[in-house]
Amino acid sequence: MGAYILRRALFLPILLFLGSILVFTVLRIAPGDPTDRVLGINSTPAEKQKLRDALGLNDPLPVQYLRWMGGMITFRLGDSIVSDQPIGEQIITRLKVTLQIWIMSVIMGTLFGISFGILSAVFRDTWLDYIVRFMAVVFLSVPAFFSLTLLIIIPSILWNYVPPLQYVSPFKDFWTNMRIFFPPVFILSLEGSAGFMRLTRSVCLEVLSQDYIRTARAKGLREFWVIMRHMFRNAMIPVVTVIGAWIPGIIAGSVILEQVMSLAGMGQYIYQGVLAKDYPVVQSITLYIGALVIFANLLVDISYAYFDPRIRYR
């Protein structure tokens, strides 16, 4: 167990390094000079040269890479080349919005996925099962930007309702905050939970056909306790691992959500960075998000190994 965690943890810096090289090279092979964007087409070569010097774009690539890495670790990320605002400051203000979306989606999505999955397994081949399964396929097919658009236009046409436009911290005014965040995150996590629900269902069905479930029933245990004690615990082990695989989906979902609901979060920041060819913003945030996903996956793997003693550590 200890050796397994150690090996995974040692592999982590290698993955991060490869990821950073990937991000750095892909963004540097972009054709066109980043300074054109800032100075306009009518700028003189001398002006361009000055800006390139200021941004450090004239240094050799390895030097640029190392400077970027140093900044990533010490959180001195420099300024956005489009808006001149420090990237670090922007990340801190925007992270509040995005973190709330992520946390709420994970909690709600897990809850929906697991409960609907169990319901549909326990009531297998009844109308309830069919409805849940059909809804899961529908949720997988309707893109988030469509359902979120409907979420805005339907209440606005029917009741002239518009959600609060200004971001409010949940610690200041919880209800106003929920009016902004709850409806879209609810829709997003319903859609995200579809894959989850299908997996929970098939795992539960497999567990339900085991001998120990029959034994539990045979000794007269109530069906409710058979499900809660014997099925639930065993079924949860494989389900937990999917949370890790689901995190990239949540991140992509929050980019769309922030765009549709016009929330100033990290997703919107990186999206606007791509539109404006703001390479310092794009490279830093991409790598931070990549690192976050890698850490989250490591945690999930370790917890998986911890909860299930049957797993052999490779």
Judged by CB under 8 A, does residue 249 bind other proteins? yes
Question: Which of 68, 112, 116, 196 lies at the binding interface for other proteins (CB under 8 A)?
Answer: 196
Question: Interacting stretch for other proteins, rule CB under 8 A, among 38-46, 89-97, 196-204, 207-215?
Answer: 196-204
Query: Which residues make Cβ contacts (< 8 Å) with residue 84, sequence separation at least 6?
Result: none
Residue 46 buriedness (CB in 10 A; 0-12 / 13-18 / 19+): exposed
Judged by CB under 8 A, does residue 280 bind other proteins? no
Question: Which of 49, 85, 126, 149 lies at the binding interface for other proteins (CB under 8 A)?
Answer: 149
Judged by CB under 8 A, does residue 22 bind other proteins? yes
| Conformation bin of residue 222: beta by default, left when phi > 0, alpha when psi is -120 to 50 | beta
Tally of helices (H runs) and strands (E runs) in the chain: 13, 0
DSSP for 262-294 reads T--SHHHHHHHHHHTT-HHHHHHHHHHHHHHHH
Judged by CB under 8 A, does residue 95 bind other proteins? no
Q: Which is nearer to other proteins, 99 or 138 (CB)?
A: 138
H-type helices in 40-159, by residue range? 45-55, 61-74, 87-122, 127-141, 144-159
Judged by CB under 8 A, does residue 51 bind other proteins? no
**Site residues, other proteins (CB under 8 A):** 15, 18-19, 22-23, 26-27, 29-31, 137-138, 140-146, 149-150, 152-153, 156-157, 195-196, 198-199, 202-203, 242, 247-249, 251-252, 255-256, 259, 270-271, 274-275, 277, 279, 282, 286, 289-290, 293-294, 297
